[in-house]
Amino acid sequence: MTEPAPDQSPTNAAASPSMAGTGSYRARVIFGILLGVVVAGVVIGIVFIVRALNAGMTIPELLSSYGYWLILGWTLLEGETIVIIAGVAAAAGHMDLWLIILVAWIGSYISDQIYFTVGKKFGPYLLKRFPWAKGPVDRAGRLLLKYDIWFILSFRFIYGVRNVTPPALAIAGVSHKRFAILNFVAAGLWANSFAFAGYLFGQAFKELVADAHMYFGYVIVFMFALAVFWAFYHTIRGIVHRRQAYRAERKAAAEKAGP
C-alpha cells in the first residue's frame, strides 16, 4: 500500500515533483473530448426517449426495450436513483432484477475506474484547475487514512465524497490493482443494495395500493423526473458552494497576510 503518511494530505502529494503529470494542454483536450461525449450522449438519449414516447411506445415498453442501456449510461455518470427506479420497474414486472444488478454493477465499476485513472494521470492539473475540489479531496484522503479498506468499500454510500473519491484515492497513491479489486466488490454491494431497495419499495407499493399496475408508469416517470432535477440541482449547488468556500478561504488568507 502506497498511501501518504498521516501528516501528508492528498493535495500535497499531488503537488510533489514525482506527481507532476502531463501538461495542461493535453489534459484540456482530453477533458474537452470527454465532456463532449457526455453532453452528446445525454442529448441523444433525451431525443430518443421523446421520439419513442411520441411514436406511441409506453413507459413499460420503453423500459423493457431500452431500460438497461439507460441504467448503464446513467451509472457511468452518477447512479443510485436510476437503479432504485429500475428496481421499482422490476417489481412491476417490466424489467429483470438480476439483469439490473449486473448492468448497474458494470456501469458503476467502469465509471469509478475511469475516474481513478483520470486522477492518476491528471491529479495535479485537476487540483490546479479546480482548486475548490481541494476540500473534498482532502476529506476523502483523511477518511482513507482512518478507515483504509472500509472507506474504499463504502465511499459510494457517503454523501459529498463519492465523485471525488476515486481520483482522490489515485492522488493519495492507492495502486491500480488494489483499487480495481476493492472497487469491483464495492460496485457489487452498491448495485445490489439500491436495486433491492427499489424492488422492495415496488413490492410494498403493490401491497398498499389497489390496482397498483395502473399507476406504476406514473410512479416511475415521477421518480425519473425527480432524479434528473435532483442531479442537476445537486451538481450546480455543490459547485457554487465549493467555489464560494474556496473564495472565502483565499480572501481570509489574503487578509491574514496583510498588505
DSSP, collapsed to helix, strand or coil, labels residue 61 as: helix
For residue 161, being part of any structural domain is answered with yes
More confident residue, 230 or 103: 103
CA-nearest of 171, 183, 96 to 140 is 171
Question: Would you say residue 210 lies in a domain?
Answer: yes
Q: Domain count of the chain?
A: 1
d(CA 75, CA 59): 20
d(C-alpha 99, C-alpha 68), whole Å: 8
Domain membership flag for residue 243: yes
At 18, the pLDDT band (50, 70, 90 cuts) reads: very low
Asked whether the predicted pLDDT for residue 4 surpasses 50, the reply is no
pLDDT in tens, 123-180: 777 777 777 667 777 777 777 777 778 888 888 887 666 777 888 888 877 888 989 9
Mean of the per-residue pLDDT values of the chain: 74
Contact 180, 113 (CB under 8 A): yes
Is residue 116 scored above 70 in pLDDT?
Answer: yes
d(C-alpha 217, C-alpha 228), whole Å: 17
C-alpha 37/C-alpha 19 separation (Å) is 28
What SS3 state is found at 222? helix
pLDDT reported for residue 166: 87
Contact 198, 63 (CB under 8 A): no
146 CA to centre of own chain: 23
pTM of the predicted model over 0.95: no
Dihedral, CA atoms, 115, 120, 125, 126, nearest 10 degrees? 30
Give the number of C-alpha atoms closer than 13 A to the C-alpha of residue 4, restricted to the C-beta side.
23
Helices (H) and strands (E) in the chain, counts: 10, 0
Question: Residue 58: which pLDDT band, with cuts at 50, 70 and 90?
Answer: low
Position 210 scores a pLDDT of: 59
**Which residue has 481513478 as its cell numbers?**
116
> Does 2 map to a domain?
no
| 4 within some domain | no
In a domain, 158, yes or no: yes
Q: Name the nearest CA neighbour of 85 among 212, 203, 232, 197.
A: 197
The boundaries of the domain holding residue 85 are 10-257
Does 183 map to a domain? Answer: yes
* In-domain check, residue 75: yes
Q: Is the pLDDT of residue 57 over 80?
A: no
Residue 112 has pLDDT above 80, yes or no: yes
